[in-house]
A and B are shown apart, each in its own frame.
Chain A
Amino acid sequence: MSETVTASEAPRENYLNRDHSVASWLLTRDHKRIAILYLIGISIFFALGGLMAVLIRAELATPQGDLFPADVYNRLFTMHGILMIFFFLIPSIPAVLGNFLIPLMVGAKDLAFPRINLLSWYLYMVGASFTFVSMLWGGIDTGWTFYTPLSTTFATGQVLLTAVGIFIAGFSSILTGLNFIVTIHRMRAPGLTWFRLPLFVWAHYATSIIQVLGTPVIAITILLVGAERLFHIGVFDPKYGGDPVLFQHLFWFYSHPAVYIMILPAMGVISELVTCFSRKKIFGYHFIALSSLAIAVLGFLVWGHHLFISGQSVVAGTIFSFLSMFVAVPSAVKVFNWTATLYKGSVSLETPMLYALGFIGVFLIGGLTGVMLATLGIDIHVHDTYFIVAHFHYVMVGSAIMGYLGGMHFWWPKITGRLYPAFISKVAAVVVFIGFNVTFLPQFILGYLGMPRRYHTYAPEFQTWNVMSSAGATVLGIGYLLPVLYLLWSLKYGEKAPANPWHATGLEWQTASPPPLENFEVTPVVTEDPYSYPDGTLRPKEVPVGV
């Protein structure tokens, strides 16, 4: 016990300052340091993917193809998609925030398999390097979807090299998921029952199930593409006895659930933020927890909505259409419960909360247009138009990045031990929200009017909306740049953070900021349910008489 007292008085040793050598970082088995390594990795690839988005939006500012020839443009949007999806969105929240927080939230010293955790970061970096080299070497023009027979027969670029990169990165994703599942099952602190787990942990549990069950399918599919491209083994090409639609089945069996790999962790973040900044116990804890699992399971049964016009049978299309609408139910359960949590809460608009509210708005638009697209008739009309582009950017990008940035701002003091400037960070949150909507709302309109995706030229009547979208992208870019600047600034000049700057519940706030090497001085014992914010504490007048 005396140890705890001295620890709080002396300049505390923590996971960041105990060893500064490069080897101590590159060979670390500490989940917190691995999270930082991931943060650096995904930031680099986000910047690269973002650079390509800038070039794409610059090209689309005018109807003519004046910056790039069609071929280069194809490579740009393909690499934009691949970098952003496989090397930013999928690892973003799980590998950075999940890695850092899950052991802390369950009261453990580390993840179940620390070495495998480090291995997963190396696999990620190796996979990303393969993809990056293939980009420098001419890139690929298949779109991130690798559709056959284009990818197997006709595409000229570095399809194999890129595929190998994604294959390797896939194992990083599987290992992270496996690590989380075992940690959540086996390493919970005494008293931390399943229904006392933070919803962030529930969301990551569901995500991990998808990662473990889905990723092998995409890995094997990519191998099959390689086998057909190299050895002409007939899987997808009718010439060799294959079927191109089979590729789409296999690809989307993973890639639709992959959307939930991106969005479920963000939903976990939002659940934490909404309850903390409403100072109120979250509404419908069990429903939110179990809806994550429902999404993970149902998410595997809807992939055929990507095949409505590719020759899939009408019967299958109808089944997939129904199931796709059905998956909206657990998503809506979450949105309703967050909204109900806000109701009569003492809402404070701190920076993370701004992102949480932004998430709800953006996800609502993304989700509802998803129901539209699940409808066979509408989907056939807008298939392969900018409507689709806008929809999936709202769901995967807008929502996931709102969650990611919200989470980063919430746990930044815990991760780094520093506070960031409040005002400028609120401005940035608003700029991101405005920038995102100005970029992608016009794309819904463009798509509905009939502008197809993946072309570098378009009919002149579409220009106004495209200019608006490109202008929005500039604003969005500034919105993303600001946090980079002030968060880096805070590392050196930011005020020192207390252990629990937001007065939040949750085990991660009960240890120092930044946490010591083994997370807790004493293994915590959990005695109460999560989110025990006494309702209405900040406004005692509203507490009903007799309480």
Chain B
Amino acid sequence: MRTDTNPHGVDPVRMYVSIFGGLMALTALTVGVSFIDFAHHLPSGWLNVYNDAAAMAIALSKALLVVTFFMHVRHATRLTKIVIAGSMTFFLFLFAFTLADYFSRGWLGPPGK
């Protein structure tokens, strides 16, 4: 929520400490998860992406914590939020179109083959 009484987004130290704790916990989780081979325990499907997906999900939540709390985006103006959403969209373009190549390798052969 936007704290209008607190326009400069100065948060209590307690909040920074607890977010830092959260980040550390997630780091520990990343290390822990790397010891599990999900493909071993789960049905091996289209691609064995489970480990990657878990690592990315953790990384993403950490990034979200940093952006929202450490970078004070929750107190920011709408324009700042639009800028962040815009940059994330372009980042998504980079990933989506690059993966579109990798995932569709071999779907179609070159003409005539």
Binding site for B on A (CB under 8 A): 185, 213, 217, 245-246, 249-250, 253, 300-301, 303-304, 307, 312-316, 318-320
Contact = CB atoms under 8 A, between A and B. Distances in A.
Interface string B87-113: 100100110011011101111111000
B100 A316 contact: yes
A314 B94 contact: no
Contacts of B102: 313
Most buried by B among A300, A315, A316: A316
Contacts of A250: 94, 98
A313 B97 contact: no
Contacts of A213: 86-87, 90
Contact of A300 (B79, B90, B110): B90
B18 to A, nearest CB: 30
Q: Can you list the 9 inter-chain pairs with the closest CB atoms, starting with the nearest?
A: A315-B104, A316-B101, A314-B108, A313-B104, A313-B105, A249-B98, A213-B90, A312-B101, A316-B100
A376 to B, nearest CB: 9
A113 B58 CA distance: 36
Contacts of B79: 185
Given A314-B110, A316-B104, A217 B94 contact: yes
B100 A319 contact: yes
Contacts of A315: 100, 104, 107-108
B97 A245 contact: no
Interface string B71-83: 0000000010000
21 contacts: A246-B98, A249-B97, A249-B98, A249-B101, A253-B94, A300-B90, A300-B93, A301-B97, A304-B101, A307-B101, A313-B101, A313-B102, A313-B106, A314-B107, A314-B108, A314-B109, A314-B110, A315-B104, A315-B108, A316-B101, A319-B97
Given A249-B94, A316-B104, 7 more contacts: A213-B87, A245-B101, A250-B98, A307-B101, A313-B105, A313-B107, A318-B108
Contacts of B106: 313
Q: Provide the main secondary structure of the chain B interface.
A: helix
Nearest to B103: A313
Contacts of A312: 101
Contacts of A301: 93, 97
A290 B90 CA distance: 18
A314 B106 CA distance: 8
Contacts of A307: 101
Contacts of A304: 97, 101
Nearest to B108: A314
B108 A313 contact: yes
B106 to A, nearest CB: 7
Contacts of B98: 246, 249-250, 253
Contacts of B86: 213
Contacts of B108: 313-315, 318
Nearest to A217: B94
Most buried by A among B90, B102, B105, B107: B90
Contacts of A303: 97
Nearest to A213: B90
Contacts of B94: 217, 249-250, 253
A316 B97 contact: yes
A308 to B, nearest CB: 11
Nearest to B96: A301
Contacts of A246: 98
B70 to A, nearest CB: 19
Most buried by A among B87, B97, B106, B108: B97
A300 B95 CA distance: 12
Contacts of B104: 313-316
Contacts of A217: 94
Most buried by B among A217, A300, A304, A313: A313
Most buried by B among A185, A245, A246, A314: A314
Nearest to A254: B94
B77 to A, nearest CB: 11
A303 B107 CA distance: 20
A246 B97 CA distance: 11
A199 B93 CA distance: 27
A128 B84 CA distance: 31
B48 to A, nearest CB: 15
Contacts of B93: 300-301
A249 B102 CA distance: 11
Nearest to A245: B101
B87 to A, nearest CB: 6
A364 to B, nearest CB: 28
Nearest to B107: A315
A29 to B, nearest CB: 25
Nearest to A214: B90
Contacts of A313: 100-102, 104-108
A246 B110 CA distance: 21
Nearest to B105: A313
Nearest to A297: B90
Nearest to B109: A314
A315 B106 CA distance: 9
Contacts of A316: 97, 100-101, 104
Contacts of A300: 90, 93
A313 B102 CA distance: 7
Nearest to A314: B108
A312 B106 CA distance: 10
B71 to A, nearest CB: 16
B109 to A, nearest CB: 7
A259 to B, nearest CB: 16
A290 to B, nearest CB: 16
